[in-house]
Structure 1
């Protein structure tokens, strides 16, 4: 399983717009084929910084979403609201809930 972490920095006056918009699309994203769930998190000291944290079957599944009409629509809607360049990481999980993850390449 692959975890995708995306850091989005919004213009201060657009944060509420993003949160309202996210409420309209979150289920469609989190139930996209081979997506195993998604979280939205907001920095407590810098509320213009928002993270998405999503789990995918593999990199091909993530890329399938990134090439989809859904992603294109979401991205084109929120991109004008950015106050900084988005950052993204695709990571493997080494440790979770007190145990090693069986899908880790080293296991």
Structure 2
């Protein structure tokens, strides 16, 4: 299982636009082959920061998504709204409690 977290800082006046993009794409991402989970988080200390937390069957499944038209369209629209460069990282699950 691969965990992917992407931290994004948005322009204050573009946050509603991001939520529209996310709402329109979340069901498609969740049903993408290899995706097990997707959720949206808010940083309680930074109102313009959102994070996606997703679970993927494998690094190959995530990469297939990243090469898809769905990703290109969604990410293309999203990155135009950033105030700062996003930070993304992946981790492999070692233990489940």
Is the structural similarity TM-score above 0.5?
A: yes
Moved over 4 A (4+): none
* Larger Rg computed on CA atoms: 1
Structure 2 regions of 5+ residues with no counterpart? none
Q: TM-score, normalised by structure 1?
A: 0.86
Question: Is contact 2:2–2:57 with CA below 8 Å preserved after alignment?
Answer: yes
| 8 Å contact from structure 1 (residues 31, 37) kept in 2 | no
Q: Matches of residues 1-107 of structure 1 in structure 2 within 5 Å? A: 1-96=1-96, 99=97
TM-score normalised according to structure 2 size: 0.94
Query: Counterparts of 1:52 and 1:43 in 2: how far apart (Å)?
Result: 11
Alignment: residue pair count: 97
1:65 alignment partner, SS class: helix
- Which protein, 1 or 2, shows the higher relative CO under an 8 Å CA cutoff with sep ≥ 6? 2
Gaps of 5+ in 1: 100-107
Alpha-carbon offset, residue 85 of structure 1: 0.4
